[in-house]
Amino acid sequence: MADAPIALIVAGPTCSGKSALALTLAERLVGTIINADSMQVYADLHILTARPDVADEARAPHRLYGVLDAARPGSVAWWREAALAEMQATREDGRVPILCGGTGMYMRALLEGLVEVPEPGDEAREEARRLVNEQGSEAVHALLMRDDPQTAQTLRPSDGQRVARALEVLRGTGHGLVYWRSQPGLPPAPYRFVSVRLHPPRDSLRAAIAERFSHMMARGALDEVERLVARGLSPALPAMRAHGVPELGAVLAGTLPMNEAVQRAVIATGQYTRRQATWFNHHALGAEQDCMISLQRYDTSTQFSKRESEKIARFIQKTIDETAGRA
């Protein structure tokens, strides 16, 4: 890996300032920002996922943002293939790939490789999502406990998306996810990664989440959800489970008052950031892998000053220069 090209990772929880930092790095290092967030890939969710706006995209190239229709469930395997293609194209343009996001499994698929699960097919996928919609995720989880207990034991019964995925794989391939994960898979990406993990204080993060959701509402988040709900898509689809979609959908259905919906969405986002932090605490972004050069953890506020951003950018540039000198 000594002669492998360098790529950057900017990771951390939702609302931690990743996008702002990635943009500063892209301008300083002549980079292209590649999305590594599982919700920002959906075209239908621009406001609620805080995707980069036109001004951001004018400052640096952005890739894999808003590229999937909400009716199509994204996957780690799909993202890995797409990200590798964008990283190669970025290098051919003479730019540095900068992966930015908070979906740890996406990062891990590059750093550690990925087990290939065969495509289960549309029939199995539709059947699994129908059962979750009609019977509930807990009932389908009980079905998995009977037919594929090894996989079922790794899932929360309330996680409808992952329960549906486990059932569709079982029904469509004849084997469960645990079986496929034990098989040989794809290798780590052929890059040397310099990583920055953002880890702001919990109080600052909670305040930033509430402020951002208020800003989203002012920008038209309710109208965005109304357009999405009007499509009549399965509630088990990932896009339909994005933070704010179920809550604002309930407002549109007349089953939840607006103030309570906003409060629930903010709380749900905060709970998700705790799960993100736990994941990153247990997965050090490949620090023990050959493809990892450095892991720098910053405990700071959710908003970076120009001085702070430049300090981090200098650290990244120094690390890249030192790494290139050792190659």
Contact yes or no for 293/7 (Cβ under 8 A):
no
Q: Which CATH class is domain 6-114+187-201+275-326?
A: alpha beta
How is the chain split among helix, strand and coil, in percent rounded to 5?
Answer: 55, 10, 35
Instruction: Specify the pLDDT at position 297.
Output: 42
Q: Show me where the domains of the chain are located.
A: 6-114+187-201+275-326, 122-181
Indicate the DSSP class of residue 102: S
Instruction: Specify the pLDDT at position 1.
Output: 55
Task: End-to-end CA distance of the chain: give it in Å, rounded.
Answer: 9
How many C-beta atoms surround the C-beta of residue 46 within 10 A?
18
Could you check whether 6-114+187-201+275-326 and 122-181 share the same CATH topology? Answer: no
pTM for the full model?
0.79
Positions of E strands within 171-262:
192-198
C-alpha 6/C-alpha 98 separation (Å) is 10
Low-confidence ranges of the chain (pLDDT < 50): 286-302
- The per-residue b/e assignment along 295-321, b for 16 or more CB within 10 angstroms, e otherwise, is beebebbbebeeebbeebbeebeebbe
Instruction: Specify the pLDDT at position 129.
Output: 87
Domain 122-181 has CATH 1.10.20.140: yes
Instruction: Specify the pLDDT at position 295.
Output: 35
